[in-house]
Chains A and B, each alone.
Chain A
């Protein structure tokens, strides 16, 4: 059976034109997707059955026992952390937020360690932006800053930017100027018209210089800023001003280098000021296919996009205090539920050490470093392959993930619902 218009549950581009061939409830071929997407959709090692750690070893058990054990851990905790959400549906996110609210837990998602600075910058200065189709049809100047999407979002350039064609971009690549700012010559930089190599940690200064030149203050800009000659910076500003429609995409090279939210706010401010001259947009290159969706759900359900602490029975949002890395670093949590992400592989060592000390519940289709630390492991179906539901593309366009094959496991949403029910039961309400 051939299934068309399938969404790829991998990166924030959320490609929706994938063709999948299924035979006997197994995916045998994936077309149109990038290599990473194909690999994800073809499948990997799975966690076979629920497991509980006893005497230091994981032993297989039933869903019921694992869910009961998870609920008990959570109910007996005073400061549980519920973290993850990069690769699941918005429907699961909604359940997770309800669970956190019920428990008085801290809920946070992977934004915390990738684009949290973008959210903080948004709340400081705003975000002049657009959907990716607007870029495809109009943009003649494309800037990537600290983002190597040739590796991280492999179809980004061909679908939406450098190589795409649209109503007002009929010439495709020929009619566009592509500019890459990075500290090293990435694969992305190799296909750009111009590569601006920045000294590491100098993003903020370079952005400030560009803004100063744009504001007419080039006479006070030093002859070289962050490794970029002043003449080059002036040329770039001229190009920005004379573009018909410009866009600046930024990745973790900007959000996670020195200056973090200040870098992003500076980049957004540059774009904001360019709108007095021409049309300009800015888009964060969000990583996982539904990391954006969690921010959306969390915002409409709690008023805040991530890092929400319900300990007071009501939301308290204070990234830096209520964000997972900070809570774990302070050794504050007495249990954690990790879903659809692998913090043991990505968090700072001290945080992982604390995760090892406390009762840890993992909900995930695949084993990873976090499994090694988990006390309860609950395997689930793969979202977007075995489970349908909503995901938000990096530009906030919501799409419905498809179910392509029948699952052998329960979904994230189902597991969370059952944990929530059990928590209610244990609490007697």
Chain B
């Protein structure tokens, strides 16, 4: 099918287009320079962007699914009946797979990455990917607490480390290296945690700092499109910002010419000053200062929005701490040799000082970091809030007036222990397009594969919003972003006037690094021992079969 989108105001930052009236041509799912007999969409001066890219959203796999089982009360929120084209929808913070796909598409999003795939349970993540329509997907396997990874880093065997990571990308059909509270999951196997970058992981004689550095090096040796993707140690602890800054500093000697060498995720939860919850304050300024003066780290905020949601993370000990504080229902799931996880419901209240400060910090990070290329917009769905809150967050970032209104209704502490009230920056559409499209795509290394941009040859993933870029009313901005006028996915109109009109399946991106065969053979001998002695499944049954990735996009890399 051919499309001609005319009279749109185009924002395409990767191609240096910032609000120009121009035509977009589409053929066979790609942006092209010529069409013959296209269907014409008159965008009539409305806002046109590449399809949205969410680089960190917990949408598929063991955690979100236990979240659904844990919270039928959440499932009952957001129920929509089956329609001619669409399946039933349920849930708010833990939506079912169908709702996940439809709701992203309705907001103009076309690419979503699940950033916490336990390797042993990767098959489950891919099964849910199959069941999420509308969007392209990728899963990032959790590797930092794997016994073999820790052993190779400890012994300094970079070759085998690299070989094992390459094998894991194949085995999990994974897209990169996720690190979550390095060393923490292993310690949590004994009910313990690690508290600093230099703590020793029990029984493995290695520190979180060594794990992070080793994985960052291996990541660059493998030429992976994405950098290491880290959830730092000490999440949610007052005073943790210095751990965060020290983590950033750990990898500044690791080189990459093409992009960052570390992506730090949901940094809002890692930007706390003070020493207790009573004096916890925002250190978003310190974090922003670091990011503004260094180019090797990118972040996403993990914005908190007020209301009820569900927290879920591979950081098992952290979820237990939350349970000990709130006493709310709690699940935990340790995964042998590899990782762990926990889930707990949460209510972020505007009347609570800590929650108000958390809310402020996310906005502060997005506003204080000067270059939007260094920040991808996230709520760490559903941890800070469900992804459906993005339009509201964008309206806050674009309007000081709306922030002022919001500030009147939050806890007083925000005036003393946060910075937000003093910030007058208002992001513009170019900033927003970067944070929600171009930057996440570039940070993931997907820009080269046609995501987050509208250049010739790019995927024809396009969103058109029923709003003029001149419009300043934040509520109109929120409303327009919530219901795309059109969402075009792979050249097909999938949303029109905020309603689903087509239900494509979406593809799965994964990385296949080529690595030296001899080292791989030696590594496989070590791995065979792990399976024979310690895993509860056989090696032959471990790798995710092709059947689970029906529409793969395989990205090959070379060392």
| Chain A residues near B (Cβ < 8 Å) | 4-5, 7, 16-17, 90, 94, 98, 101-102, 119, 122-134, 136-138, 159-160, 165-168, 244-245, 272, 275-276, 278-279, 281, 295-297, 299-305, 310, 312-315, 317, 388, 390, 392, 396-400, 429
Contacts of B98 in A (CB 8 A): 301
Stretch of B36-44, B83-91, B272-280 at the chain-chain interface: B83-91
Q: Which of A128, A167, A299 has the most CB of B within 10 A?
A: A299
Cβ–Cβ contact B69 & A276, under 8 A: no
Contact, CB under 8 Å: B333 / A131: yes
Among A5, A98, A128, A392, the residue within 8 A (CB) of B330 is A128
A134→B120 contact, CB < 8 A = no
Shortest C-beta distance, A291 to chain B (Å), equals 14
**Contact sample, A vs B, 27 pairs, CB 8 Å cutoff:** A17-B538, A98-B87, A126-B323, A129-B332, A131-B335, A133-B120, A134-B335, A136-B336, A136-B536, A138-B189, A245-B191, A272-B330, A278-B191, A300-B64, A301-B98, A302-B90, A303-B96, A304-B69, A304-B72, A314-B88, A314-B90, A315-B88, A388-B547, A392-B124, A396-B333, A397-B121, A398-B124
The minimal Cβ–Cβ distance linking A98 to chain B, given in whole angstroms, is: 7
B536 touching A5 by the CB < 8 A rule? no
B64 to chain A: closest residue by CB: A300
With the chains together, A245 CA to B76 CA distance in Å?
Answer: 36
Contact call B72/A303, Cβ cutoff below 8 A: yes
B545 interface residue, CB < 8 Å from A? Answer: yes
Determine which of B87, B188, B320, B538 lies in contact with A16 in the assembled complex, contact meaning CB atoms within 8 Å. Answer: B538
Report whether A124 and B329 are in contact in the complex, using a CB–CB cutoff of 8 Å: yes
Known contacts: A279-B191, A300-B65. The answer to whether A314 contacts B536 by CB under 8 A is no
Q: Which residues of A contact B291 (CB under 8 A)?
A: none
Complex Cα distance, B80 from A312, in Å, reads 10
Task: State whether the Cβ of B534 lies closer than 8 Å to any Cβ in chain A.
Answer: yes
Residues of A within 8 A of B405 (CB): none
Main secondary structure of the interface of A (DSSP, over half): mixed
User: How far, in whole Å, are A130 and B80 apart by their CA atoms in the complex?
Assistant: 34
Most chain B beta-carbon contacts within 10 A, residue among A90, A126, A278 = A126
Q: How far is the CA of A50 from the CA of B69 in the complex (A)?
A: 37
Given the complex, which residues of B lie within 8 Å of A129, measured CB to CB? 331-334
Q: Which residue of A lies closest to B97 (CB)?
A: A300
Q: State in angstroms the CA–CA spacing of A285 and B533 once bound together.
A: 23
Q: Is the CB of A302 within 8 A of B190?
A: no
- The total of chain B residues at the interface (CB under 8 A) is 64
B336 touches A134 (CB 8 A): yes
Q: Say yes or no: A315 contacts B79, CB within 8 Å.
A: yes
Contact of B90 among A297, A305, A315 (CB under 8 A): A315
> Within the assembled complex, what's the spacing in Å between the Cα atoms of A317 and B75?
9
- Which residues in B have their C-beta under 8 angstroms from that of A276? 324
Main secondary structure of the interface of B (DSSP, over half): mixed
Task: Give CA–CA (A302, B98) in the complex, Å.
Answer: 9
Is there contact, CB below 8 Å, between A128 and B70? no
Contacts of A390 in B (CB 8 A): 123, 127
Select one of A124, A244, A295 contacting B190, CB under 8 A: A244
Q: Which residues of B contact A388 (CB under 8 A)?
A: 547
Determine how close the nearest CB of chain A comes to the CB of B523; give it in whole angstroms.
19
Does the CB pair B540–A136 fall under 8 Å?
Answer: no
* Contact B324 A133, beta carbon cutoff 8 Å: no
A219 to B189, CA, bound (A): 33
Nearest-neighbour CB distance to chain A for B206, whole angstroms, equals: 15
Least CB separation from B340: chain A residue:
A130
Asked whether any CB of chain A lies closer than 8 Å to the CB of B537, the reply is yes
B391 at the interface (CB under 8 A from A): no
What mask results when residues 500 to 544 of chain B are scored 1 for a CB within 8 Å of chain A, else 0? 000000000000000000000000000000000111111011000
**Beta-carbon contact of A314 and B72 below 8 Å:** no
Q: Is the CB of A5 within 8 A of B88?
A: no
User: Which of A137, A165, A166, A302 is in CB contact (< 8 Å) with B96?
Assistant: A302
Query: In the complex the two chains form, is A90's CB within 8 Å of B331's CB?
Result: no
Partner of A303, one of B75, B124, B537, B541: B75
Min CB gap B273→A, angstroms: 28
Docked pose: A301 CA to B124 CA in angstroms? 13
Q: Which residues of A contact B188 (CB under 8 A)?
A: 279
Contact flag A101-B537 (CB < 8 Å), given A281-B334, A301-B96, A303-B75: no
The yes or no answer to B403 lying at the interface (CB within 8 A) is: no
Report the minimal beta-carbon distance from B503 to chain A, rounded to whole angstroms. 13
The smallest beta-carbon distance between B541 and chain A, in angstroms, is 5
Chain B residues whose CB sits within 8 angstroms of the CB of A305 once the complex forms: 68-69
Establish whether residues A304 and B190, one from each chain, have CB atoms under 8 Å apart when the complex forms: no
> Given that A16-B541, A245-B189, A399-B123 are known contacts, is A130 also in contact with B333, CB under 8 Å in the complex?
yes
Q: How far is the CB of B86 from chain A (nearest CB, A)?
A: 11
Is B155 positioned at the interface, with any CB of A under 8 Å from its CB? no
Of B80, B131, B332, B541, the residue contacting A301 (CB under 8 A) is: B131
**B189 — which chain A residues lie within 8 A by C-beta?**
134, 138, 245, 279
Known: A126-B330, A133-B337. A299 touches B68 (CB 8 A): yes
| Contact with B533, one of A159, A167, A315, A399 (Cβ below 8 angstroms) | A167
Q: Which of B278-329 contact A (CB under 8 A)?
A: 320, 323-324, 329
Q: Which of B65, B333, B337, B537 has the most CB of A within 10 A?
A: B537
CB closest chain-A residue, reference B537: A16
The yes or no answer to B62 lying at the interface (CB within 8 A) is yes
Whether the pair B536, A131 counts as a contact (CB closer than 8 A) is yes
Question: Please, which residue of chain B has its CB at the minimum distance from the CB of A299?
Answer: B68
